[in-house]
Structure 1
Amino acid sequence: MTKPSLRAPGAMAPCRHMLMVLAFSLLCPSAEAQEFFTLKGHGGPIKGIATAPDGTVLTASFDNSVGLWRDGEPFWLEGHAAAVNAVVFAGGTRVVSAGDDFTLRLWDTEAGTGRVLGEHLGKIIRLVVSPDGARVASASWDGTARIWSLDGEDAELALEGHESAVNDVAFSPDGTRVYTASADGTIRVWDSTTGAAEGQLVRHGFGVNALVLAPDESWIAYGAVDGGTRVLSLPEGTAVQDFTLDRRPILAMAHSPQARRIAVGDAQGFIMMVDTEGWRISEDFRASLTGPIWALAFSSDGQNIHAGGLDNAMYSWPLAGLDAAQAMPDAERSFLTPPEEMSNGERQFQRKCSICHTLGPDGARRAGPSLHGLFGRAAGSLDGYSYSDTLETAGIVWTDETIDRLFDLGPDHFIPGSKMPMQRITAPRDRQDLIAFLRAATAP
């Protein structure tokens, strides 16, 4: 098991990171206005965001790490073996994160240590801490939500009954109930102390990806795969308002009592703001021109909306200026380059490999190791990267033949149990072109 670490930016190469602009108002909660700013330093897209009252920001990334942004400086919580999808503050110096490696990790940010708090049988998508700060609930693609004691005093509690992946979870204000949203198209309610099902609140017909709950539990809002965006009154579950637009799927939601807004992010790069006093769309802007909005969170004072998408940075806009807000710069993702500008081999690399791997000697905080000097190298042998035990003991050397088999069979069949994403290149010519490109591009 890899020893987790809390690493300051000074331990990184200068080309990886640096925070570009951080408004003073983020660091000073008493400031009267926020400004646009970005947090740069990750080596992969931002999948989760959390904020603290003092202005500290947490970012969860596809690069397997959590960024802790305090006083304008990033620190890296490292220990996950795959992409991190969710992160939450858990009181004091405690932080909980979870991701594609099926684990929840509990961190002490002052001591710089972390440990596995619990484990699902599938990737974990969302986390929420109970109102009393004693427990954390997790939503997983293994079809369950689970409740964990942060102090380890109680055994985990499984909420079982959904027929597909659980995508989101929320505690009631008094902590006695849990609401879960699932790919089976339902929202269900559970007793948080016994795990007993209390009922089904919604059957939408398409998978429900996100939900937010009113601080007084008077309403619940949700977003679905078909673009459905609706608000229901509680406890009866009757319709309050339907904000569905012709954009799908809904991927992220956030709520700010201070701003009296619900933020809704979708796959087409829009962030829609819903006014919870008048139940109307107050703002609707294109936050990303090149990809989805995967993560949303309001600043603690409700003056800014933070968002993560395809780029390796978190972006934050002041709500006061959303009508004239500029979109994220086009993400510098080579797989977005027009096909006619690349060879077929390079195109295969950009589409299948470029988010996780670099071609040069610098790994650049990516989810996977650098491919520099790949041919003739034993799998799982590059120094400085945390491989799965499966890959380290596979006895594979990377050659034309083994790379061809990797993408012919798919990593999950060629090396079962490795961290590589499930993907294939079915056409033999495409695999040959990729191999030829890699031979040239990764040569020492």
Structure 2
Amino acid sequence: MRLFATMSLIVTLCASSALAQSFTTLKGHGGPIMGLAVSGEGQVATASFDNSVGLWDGRNPRWLEGHEAAVNAVAFLPDGRVVSAGDDFTVRIWDGAQSRIIGQHKGKVTALEIAPETGMIASASWDGTIGLWPLAEGSGRVIKLRDSGVNDIVFGDGGDSLFAATTKGEVLLFDLTKDAPPRPLVKHGFGVNELALGPQGRWLAYGAVDGGTRILDAVTGAALADFTLDRKPILSMVHHAATGLLAVGDGQGYIMLVDTKTWRIRQDFRATRQGPIWALAFSPDGAVVWAGGLDDVAYGWPIALMDQFDPAMGQERSFLKDVGEMTNGERQFMRKCSICHALEAGASRKAGPTLHGVFGRSAGRLPGYPYSPTLAGSDIIWSDATIDQLFDLGPDHYIPGSKMPMQVIAAPQDRRDLIEFLKTYSQKEETKP
């Protein structure tokens, strides 16, 4: 009996060790993961709210810095270079650590798509436009939608057609060989967030704000299958042609895997107890699905073992603590400031400068942080009064043109509590061992 128990323990420990080794985390970003891409050689690229792109060799990152706001989308070109786009309205190609802007929108860029056959990069923006940018030298082309932002795009017909998902709830099909209006394939009624196109353009999948997850004939728009569950919104979607798997991520932390060869749900995995799945990508062989969300971490889940894992994402964001464990000032900081700003001294990978010692500091003057020209030239001194005004009016009104996101703390007491919290915790010195 003792020998049997010992052997059982050894088997259990070995299985647990193998399971742990098969699960991968890529740590180093200073903000949530907004986009993911995997090259044909298996290299992972991450786009983050911290304004950077991470290129990962194993678990070692190389940072691509140049965006002036959150990076929402990233893609690999056939030659291994990276394209990225984000909240600074730009589309950039990276040559090593240097980038050049190949496209510019007037609003945040939400998605990228590559058409190697035609040498074109497409970008979708909330400004209601689709950009078509040539890899070679030459002028781009901008397609303007009449009254809707664009959430996602995907090329068809070797780059001669383009599907677009709109904030108005439509899926539009553009014939890029003609100067003609798009053909509506779907009028969903709620914003369509995500698209994925099947092999040879036989089917088109879409995911919507209301949780709608549907498969269409990509030519006629006829319904083929419906995988809508009681979860919303759909925030990410990716197809792996060789395995036929379609991965769908939602706002409640699930990754659903659909077998497109049988049109059945193969797995429905809860990756996080709370928080969204904003980004998904498959490994080249389809054995691993990469996921990103609120954590500053990208997760690689081995598909064959997914059912053996407990939820791992959504555990690292301090603002997800129980509200009963925080003072009101801490709660305001966690919800309004903590994604972008640290309280500790020194550099961090967060999108904004540290708030350590912020009181009495001139705005836009912390060495080493790339401020917007508006803030760098400001005469504001951070104090009780100026921080109160910042959140009373909102950064977009108090400092027009700055990189700070639009947000307001309406209640005066909430602003006072935040200021007292910052006074206490932004001036604490680290205790050295």
TM-score over 0.5 (shorter chain): yes
What is the aligned partner in structure 1 of residue 103 from structure 2? 118
What is the aligned partner in structure 1 of residue 160 from structure 2? 176
Does the CA-based 8 Å contact 1:310-1:331 persist in structure 2? no
CA distances 1:281-331 after superposition (whole Å, capped 9, x unpaired):
111010111210000011111111100011111001111122223322542
Aligned pair in 2 of structure 1 residues 101, 211: CA closer, same or farther (>3 Å)? Answer: same
Question: How far apart, in 2, do the equivalents of 1:193 and 1:436 lie?
Answer: 60
Aligned pair in 2 of structure 1 residues 372, 206: CA closer, same or farther (>3 Å)? Answer: same
CA distances 1:326-373 after superposition (whole Å, capped 9, x unpaired):
322542222111222111111111110000000011342001000011
Aligned pair in 2 of structure 1 residues 343, 320: CA closer, same or farther (>3 Å)? Answer: same
Does the CA-based 8 Å contact 2:118-2:159 persist in structure 1? no
Q: TM-score, normalised by structure 1?
A: 0.89
Q: How does 1:243-258 map to 2 (within 5 A)?
A: 243-258=227-242
Question: How far apart, in 2, do the equivalents of 1:117 and 1:69 lie?
Answer: 24
Does 380-389 or 331-340 show the bigger shift? 331-340
What is the aligned partner in structure 2 of residue 82 from structure 1? 69
* Alignment partner of 1:349 is 2:336: no
Q: How does 1:8-47 map to 2 (within 5 A)?
A: 35-47=22-34
Does the CA-based 8 Å contact 1:93-1:108 persist in structure 2? no
Deviation, structure 1 residue 160: 1.7
What is the aligned partner in structure 2 of residue 272 from structure 1? 256
Does the CA-based 8 Å contact 1:263-1:271 persist in structure 2? yes
The alignment-based identity, stated in percent, is 56
Deviation, structure 1 residue 173: 3.8
Question: How far apart, in 2, do the equivalents of 1:294 and 1:182 lie?
Answer: 17
Deviation, structure 1 residue 36: 1.8
Which of 38, 49, 70 matches 1:62?
A: 49
What is the aligned partner in structure 1 of residue 91 from structure 2? 104
Deviation, structure 1 residue 152: 2.6
Question: How far apart, in 2, do the equivalents of 1:179 and 1:349 lie?
Answer: 40
* Alignment partner of 1:373 is 2:360: no
Which of 272, 284, 290 matches 2:274?
A: 290
Question: How far apart, in 2, do the equivalents of 1:79 and 1:430 lie?
Answer: 35
Does 128-137 or 178-187 show the bigger shift? 128-137
What is the aligned partner in structure 2 of residue 189 from structure 1? 173
Deviation, structure 1 residue 199: 0.6
CA distances 1:378-437 after superposition (whole Å, capped 9, x unpaired):
111111111100111121110111100000000000001111010000001111111111
What is the aligned partner in structure 2 of residue 199 from structure 1? 183
Question: How far apart, in 1, do the equivalents of 2:394 and 2:130 lie?
Answer: 29
In the alignment, residue 315 of structure 2 is paired with which amino acid?
A
In the alignment, residue 46 of structure 1 is paired with which amino acid?
I
Aligned pair in 2 of structure 1 residues 286, 71: CA closer, same or farther (>3 Å)? Answer: closer
Deviation, structure 1 residue 53: 1.3
Q: Secondary structure at the match of 1:412?
A: helix
Q: Secondary structure at the match of 1:246?
A: coil
Q: How many residues align?
A: 408
What is the aligned partner in structure 2 of residue 165 from structure 1? 149
Structure 1 runs not aligned, ≥5 long: 1-33
What is the aligned partner in structure 2 of residue 23 from structure 1? none
What is the aligned partner in structure 2 of residue 21 from structure 1? none
Aligned pair in 2 of structure 1 residues 160, 346: CA closer, same or farther (>3 Å)? Answer: same
Aligned pair in 2 of structure 1 residues 347, 255: CA closer, same or farther (>3 Å)? Answer: same
Does the CA-based 8 Å contact 1:90-1:133 persist in structure 2? no
Q: Secondary structure at the match of 2:304?
A: helix
Question: How far apart, in 1, do the equivalents of 2:165 and 2:179 lie?
Answer: 15
Structure 2 runs not aligned, ≥5 long: 1-20, 429-433
In the alignment, residue 77 of structure 2 is paired with which amino acid?
A
Does the CA-based 8 Å contact 2:85-2:91 persist in structure 1? yes
What is the aligned partner in structure 2 of residue 5 from structure 1? none
Select the structure that is richer in helix: 2
Q: TM-score, normalised by structure 2?
A: 0.92
Q: How does 1:282-321 map to 2 (within 5 A)?
A: 282-321=266-305
Question: How far apart, in 2, do the equivalents of 1:244 and 1:200 lie?
Answer: 21
